[in-house]
Structures are given as structure tokens and as C-alpha cells.
Structure 1
Amino acid sequence: MIENNVFASQALKDKLYAKIEAKTDRMIAIRRQLHEHPELSFKEKTTGAFIANFYQGKDVQVQANFGDGYGVVVTIDSGKPGKTLALRADFDGLPVQEETGLPFASQNTGVMHACGHDGHTAYMLILAESLYELKDDWAGKIKIVHQPAEETPPGGALGMIKAGVLDGVDAIIGVHGWAPVPYGTVQCTAGPVMTGRSSFKMTIHGKGGHGSAPHLANDANVAASYFVTIAQTIISRRTDPFDMCTLTFGNFDGKGSFNVIKDAVFLEGDVRFMRDEAREIIETNFKRMVKGLELMFDVKVDLFYDSDYPVLNNDTDLAATIQNSLRHSHSHIQELTNLDTITRNTASEDFAYFAQKIPGVYLFVGEMPDDGIFYPHHSPKFVINEKALPLAAKTVGVAALDFLATH
């Protein structure tokens, strides 16, 4: 935690702000270029090459194709002793057909930057360039982690960790632009801040037959319907009421002819939780209920239950350091109108793997459009407020400078 108000000089921060403001038009142009050419997780070859090429001609270490995907790691060395801080931004798109009508809408059929990772990459490129140009004014190292494949488990973070991206790194900061949050707000919350996630797929096998003779069949739809209802009691009766948990069936494929009893039904869904202990409770009871369903309805269930992203825990001391930094710089960052230190987010993120290894903090920057109308992340109509991009750059930039100055 910052003690005795140890901050980077205001003069240095003002230089950073000026550089970001001067480059904002280019930042937005980069974002729009990336938005037109999204790529799916683990297939971001062109995007990875674009990112690596951005750093050509700069005196930095660039490691392309890092990890088990197209990750890019860039190390900016000030040449002076100090701590090493990592800054992470993801860059994959989603399998969504864009319906925004934007003049720079996706040119790749069925693929869209529907979660704002194009904005993450654009702000990070300009921030990295600006910090590089100011490296004579700060001490230590900054490692820029351009991560692929956040959207698809197991995610790109694990592969980068296994490849050594965190070796020698003291802390890591990440940001997600968030459309439901008003522009001007930055959220920095200590402790558990994003849910862990499990997912499941199950096929319930009964016996097919004719609707006029149900006694000669074994209706998998009935068993599946019962299970969808009874599984909700895991949350209401098996987990602590103070724990945030959800269990969602997102896919119930029992469609058939009106007079035909299907012999199999497919269910698919996910589980979210804000405490890792709840993960085990839910999984244990879910599997127990599956066994009970088999006995009760004389069906056979093929179950795939996968525990992937863990709970994302923001390091308490690092969060306090960043909160203190932003409060100190609040009056100098004109775009920052509200610092929120309480709100948590019920989505999941593979940044959690980084935060399991070293102190990490994941921030949210409000990207709600000025008219107040927003579409959820992953929606085909999803748009962001591009004014939030320089705010993200300034927020992470000042947090980085103060962290390095503190140490």
C-alpha cells in the first residue's frame, strides 16, 4: 500500500496526459480498424501480427506468438532499477453477427468485437507507446501483455502464464470497458470482484415413442424439465444466502414433432459464484442430483461438468494503492468524474489466473454511450463510448507511474 503519499511527479503525469490526448484520434482510428477485422479466440493471427508490428522501430523487447496462441508480450525497460509491472489487454472477438450499422462494422461474417476488446487493445497500444516515450522519467520495467482468447476456455491467460509471462513481474493491472456503467466512472474494488465459472453439458437418454402411448416410452423431456426446476434448489437451499451464486440453463434442446416422445434431450448451462468454496458445493450437489434423476426417471445421463475460470480476487494492498493514486489524480484527469470502490461484477474473466499468481487488480471503466442507451456485452448491437478509451489509458497510466514510484 502507498505510504507517506509517495506518488510520481505531477509533471510526469501531465506529460503522459498530454501524450494520450494528442494521440486520442489515432487511438480511436486503431480501435475502428480492429473492429472491422475481428478474429475468434485462438485464431487471432492477423490481430497478433498487427499488435507486434505496432512496436517496430521502438527500443523494446517484443515476443510474438507467446503462449499457446497469438499473444504478444512487450517489455519496456527504463534502464533504471525498480519493480516490474505488467499491464494486460485482451484482443479476441466473438462468434456474433454484427447488427450495429456502424460505418466501421465487422467485415468478417459471423465475427464481431461484441465485448470491447478492440478498445482494450487500442488504448493499451497508445498507452504503451506513451510510457515508452517517457521511460527516461520513470524507473523499473513495464511489461505489456496483449492476451488472446479471453472469451473461450481455457482462455489465453493460462498458456501465457505457463510460457513465463509473469516471471519477474511484481504486480499486474487490467481493465475492462463496461457499457452498463456511465462514462466517467472508474471502478476499483478490493477483494473478490468477478465471479468464478463452471459450465455443464448433459444429455438425458430415455426411450422414444408415440405421444398416444406414453406408457410404452420413457419421456426424456419430462425428466429434463424436472431437473431444470429441482437444480435451482442447489442455489436456494445448499449455498450460503450471503454468497452470490447463479445456475443457468441456457440451452434446452427437446424440440421434436408434436406427437413424438423424444428419446434424448440435451441441456447446457453455466454456474457463477463469488467464492471458490461455493464452486465445490454446487458441483457436488449437481452431480448428486444427476444420479438421483437417473434413479427417479429410469434414464441415463451423460454429463460433462467443467470448472474453468476461478473467482477474480483483486489484491487488497494493490487495490488500495490504485485507489489512492486515482484519488490523488482525480482533479487532473478531467474525464474521471466518479471513483467507485464498492461495485463487483457478476461476469467471469481469465485475468483471474494472473491474479492467482501475483498481486493483480482488474478495473472497470464506464463506456455507456452519451445518450444512456446501451446494449449488453456480447449483443450484436453492442457499442461503446469511444471517449472512454483515453480515460482508460490515463487511469492505467497514472496507476502504473505511481506504483513504480512507490517501489
Structure 2
Amino acid sequence: MIEKLDEILEENFHEMVSVRRYLHQHPELSFKEVETPKYIANYHRNLGSDVKEFVGGRGVVATLKGKLPGPTVALRADFDALPIQEENDLPYKSLVPGVMHACGHDGHTAQLLLLAKALHAIKDKLAGTVVFIHQHAEEYAPGGAIDMIKDGCLEGVDVIFGTHLWATEPLGKVQYNTGALMAAADRFEIVVKGKGGHGAQPHYTKDAILIGSQIVQSLQHIVSRRVDPLDSVVISFGAFEAKNAFNVIADTAKLEGTVRTFDEGVQNNVINYMKEVIDGIAQSYGATAQFNYYKGYPALINHHDEGELVKEVSLNTPSIKEVEYAKPQMGGEDFSYYLQHVKGAFFFTGAMAPDTVDPYPHHHPKFNFDEKAMLHAAKLLGRLTIKAFDEYKRG
């Protein structure tokens, strides 16, 4: 059955590429997806799946029941794009100004649609149910996953799997993990209120830029001196705004940044430490500082046995040449929400073209990937589904 599934996927690879390129040309931003979910729903409906639209907002869920009863396996793909002007010179480049698929979500969608087609072709041999979760708004918090879950996309699901095409890793490589894989991705804002004045008379002012600079430097001491060195924490600033004339001392400064952690206890401690430092510095200058903290996606923690299942299946898939344990990464992924509700695992499928020396990273205007990686990913997800049918039936 697995060999037949691989054969069908290979026969339909040209369609997979065609679907991906169509989606690449017609990207839609997070929470603004209109035509993409229609396209996905129609594709599944034409296969004969039970289709639900507008799940959690703009999500699509399609269900395929095998001929025989068994466990329910969910497979997830995201389909939103990014607010980036594409710089690739491709015949299928984005037709939407300022919007492009710069993270591979077009490939995730195409590989899952064609996997659905392949599984339909062998559904009489399937002993279980497959739920295809097509998720909107992965790129922009609060994300689409949490609302799709609230809307019931995981009802009856025993296990879930997902993969990300990883263009910075070689084609034919899989990176799996049995625990913490991706970090909680939070955002914060700090607004410093001082007292402006003439640049020649700083002693009459409460310099918001100086105070903000002290805050930037001091918050890094939380990472190096307030947190256990064995716990991973990142505090990064991405914006510092206090625009004035060259000879005017600012009375207001706005700072923005991100915090990345893996442990919820560490996360909460960092928030408290930040507030202490920010308030203390502002008060020492006779100023005030407003601190707003927004928790984003939680850390993505794979379930151990399901992570091991990814490893086992990858090692036994002929097109996969290298299987590597993935170190935790500080990027965020709202697949984490699914794993808080059901068992499952998320993994990376290498998608770097063989002749590439220095690939453009994800979210870059020239991002692209080797389309053969979609075939690898579809085979892996299909094999995982069939293997999980057997494993969870016994379990």
C-alpha cells in the first residue's frame, strides 16, 4: 500500500507543482484569505471528501474515511502569505504587489492536496480516517490554529502531524525532534515618557532616548544574570523610535521587541524581571515607562513517541537520504496549539536545491525552494498516516 501511495504521488507530481505555482502567483495575507480557501475547498470537494469551510474564520477542514474503521489522523498545512514584494524573476512570480509566499506555505498546501488525491485512490485499503486541516493565518498572531481548534477541527482526532519545507537544509534531509522544537514567540512595547528640551540644556530635561538606551542594555542582563544558563531565553529589540530635530532632546521614546522562551515558568519570570528593570530605570530618572507584553504562540513541544515515529518513517523512506535530530529553534509556530490538545509531532523537510550554496532564508524577497521537496514531504506524511493507523489501532 505504501509503495502504491508513493507511485501515485510521483505520477501526480506535475500537478503538485502546478498547484503550488498557481498559489504562488495568487498569495493572500493572514486573516485576509478569500480565494485560497475557496480553491482548497473545491479541490477536496471534487475528490469526494466531506468539506467544512470557514472553520475558525477562514480555515478549511476536509475528511476522508477509509473503507475500514480505525484511528483518526490529522495532517495540517498552512496557506497564508507575507507582506513582502517578491524579487524573484520567475514565470510564476507573485501577481499581487507587496505580497508573496516567502515561507513555503504554497508548497505545504500543494503537497497536502495531492496527498489527499493519492489517499483517495487507495481509500478502500485504509483502516482509519484522515482529517486534512488547511489553516489560515499562521504568520500573524494570534494565528488561525487556536480558532480552528475552538471550532472543532480536532474533534475525534487521535494524532496530528505537520511538516515545514525547510529551504536552508538540503533536499532529501529530514529533521525530527521528540521534545521542544520551536519557542514561544512574544512581543512587547515600552513607551518612555520623560521631559523634552533644548539639546544645549540637557540638565533641564529627562532624556527619553537616554532612558530607553539604558533599558535596552539592562534588559540583556536578564538573559545573562537573572535566568539559569541552562534555560534558553532571547530578548531582542526591533524598533526604537524617538524622532526629533537634531538639537531637541526627546520627551517620548517607543521601543518594541520580542522575547523567546521554551518554558512557561521561565517566560513568566522574564516578564516580571522586565517590568522591574523598566520601572526602576524610569523612576531613577524621574520619568515613567509603560510596559505592554503580548504573549504569542506557545512553545512547540513534540510528543516523544510521535517524534520517534517521524524518525522511524523517515529512515524507511527511500527518497530521504539523511535523518537528523533537530535542535530547538527560536522561531515560532502555531502548530504548537494542536500539540496542546492531541498527540503529534512537527518536523522539517529539507528543500534546498542541490546546486545552491547560500540559500535565501525564509521571509526573504528572493526566497524559493526545490519543488521536489514537496514530493518528499507528501510521501512522509502519507507514510506517517498509514503507520499511525496501525500504531493507534494497537494502542
TM-score range, shorter chain: over 0.9
Find the partner of 1:396 among 351, 358, 381: 381
Matched, 1:374 2:359: yes
Instruction: Please identify, of 388-397 and 99-108, the stretch whose mean Cα deviation from structure 2 is larger.
Output: 99-108
Mapped partners of 2:302, 2:321: distance in 1:
22
Residues 92-145 of structure 1, C-alpha deviation per residue, up to 9 Å, x if partnerless?
A: 011111112222111111111111111100111101111121111111100000
Answer whether contact 2:23 2:36 (CA < 8 A) is retained: yes
CA deviation after TM superposition for structure 1 residue 63, in Å: 0.2
Which of 11, 18, 26 is 1:37 aligned to? Answer: 26
CA distance in 1, matches of 2:39, 2:229: 47
Q: CA deviation at 1:339?
A: 0.9
Q: Which residue of 2 aligns with 1:357?
A: 341
Structure 2 counterpart of 1:15, which letter? K
Distance in 1, Cα, partners of 2:62 & 2:310: 23
Aligned equivalent of 1:218: 206
Partner-residue secondary structure (3-state), 1:81: strand
**Does the CA contact (< 8 Å) of 1:183 and 1:388 recur in 2?**
yes
The answer on 1:339 being equivalent to 2:327 is no
**AA in 2 matched with 1:356:** Q
Cα deviation 1:298-339 (Å, max 9, x = unaligned)? 222222101121111110011122222222x23xx22x1101
- 1:139-178 equivalences in 2 (<5 Å): 139-178=127-166
Q: Is 2:108 the partner of 1:120?
A: yes
- Residue 61 (str. 1) matches residue 46 (str. 2): no
**Paired residue type of 2:342:** I
1:304 equivalenced with 2:292 (yes/no): yes
Indicate conservation of the 8 Å contact 1:178/1:365, yes or no. yes
**Deviation larger for 228-237 or 380-389:** 380-389
Q: Tell me how far apart the structure 2 counterparts of residues 315 and 200 of structure 1 sit (CA, whole Å).
A: 30
- Out of 2, 17, 39, the residue aligned to residue 50 of structure 1 is 39
Contact 1:375 1:382 in 2 (8 A): yes
- Residue 185 (str. 1) matches residue 185 (str. 2): no
Which runs of 4 or more aligned residues in structure 1 lie more than 3 Å from their structure 2 counterparts after TM superposition? Answer: none
Shift of 1:363: 0.8
Q: Please, which runs of 5 or more residues in structure 2 have no aligned partner? A: none
Q: Distance in 2 between matches of 1:36 and 1:186?
A: 28
Q: Does 1:256 align with 2:244?
A: yes
Which residue is 1:108 aligned to? Answer: 96
2: distance between equivalents of 1:130 and 1:269? 44
Distance 1:402 1:369 in 2: 29
Q: Output the TM-score relative to the length of structure 2.
A: 0.96
Partner of 2:60: 72
Q: Which secondary structure does the structure 2 equivalent of 1:379 belong to? A: coil
For the Cα contact (< 8 Å) 1:192–1:275, is it kept in 2?
no
Which of the two has greater strand per residue? Answer: 2
Q: TM-score, normalised by structure 1?
A: 0.94
Matches within 5 A, 1:72-91: 72-91=60-79
8 Å CA contact 1:32, 1:104 repeated in 2: yes
CA contact (8 A) 2:181 2:326 kept: no
Provide the C-alpha distance between the structure 1 equivalents of 2:303 and 2:21, rounded to a whole number of angstroms.
33
Aligned-residue RMSD, C-alpha: 1.2
* Paired residue total: 391
Maintained 8 Å contact 1:369/1:385? yes
Quote the sequence identity (%). 41
- Rounded to whole Å, the distance in 2 between the matches of 1:73 and 1:128 is 12
Contact preservation (8 Å) 2:313, 2:380: no
Unaligned 5+ segments in structure 1 are 1-11
Partner AA of 1:364 in structure 2:
F
**Farther-moved stretch of structure 1 (351-360 vs 287-296):** 287-296
Q: Is the 2:67–2:126 Cα contact (8 Å) retained in structure 1?
A: no
Shift of 1:245: 1.4
SS of the residue corresponding to residue 231 of structure 1 reads: helix
Question: Can you list the C-alpha shifts for 1:46-88, whole angstroms capped at 9, x where unaligned?
Answer: 1111111112333211001111x21000000013211001000
Aligned residue for 2:374, secondary structure, equals helix
Q: Is the 8 A contact 1:138 1:405 kept in 2?
A: no
How far apart, CA to CA, are the structure 1 residues paired with 2:377 and 2:357? Answer: 19
Aligned-partner Cα distance in 1 for 2:270–2:168: 29
The equivalent residue for 2:82 is 94
Deviates more, 1:26-35 or 1:315-324: 315-324
- Work out whether residues 201 and 268 of structure 1, in 8 Å CA contact, stay in contact via their aligned partners in 2: yes
1:5 paired residue number = none
Please give the alpha-carbon distance, in whole angstroms, between the structure 1 residues aligned to 2:243 and 2:174.
Answer: 45
